[in-house]
Amino acid sequence: MPKIFVDVVVKYTKEGSKIPLAVIWENGKNYSVDKVFDITRAASLKAGGQGMRYRCRISGKETCLWLEDDKWFMEA
């Protein structure tokens, strides 16, 4: 499974945390992040790579969003 790199609207907290607020898909469609359940360092077993995994609900569907170095991606 390939990585799909996406644009992400992010809130930076005063503590330095990054909280994703919305994902902008390849076609330009905007999907809001309803809730972030968990943030942990992990490997993406399906697409390869590793970084910070954001387990979240996006437009009502639970999925993972990854931050690898300074790029955001999702698994295809």
Q: Name the one residue in this structure whose structure tokens are 């999907």.
A: 31
pLDDT digits (tens, 9 = 90+) for 36-49: 999 999 999 888 88
- Residues 26-39 have a mean pLDDT of 95
Q: Which residue would you say has higher pLDDT here, 73 or 1? A: 73
Share of the chain above pLDDT 90, in %: 82
Q: Which residue would you say has higher pLDDT here, 19 or 76? A: 19
Type of residue numbered 36: V
Calpha distance 59→2 (Å, rounded): 22
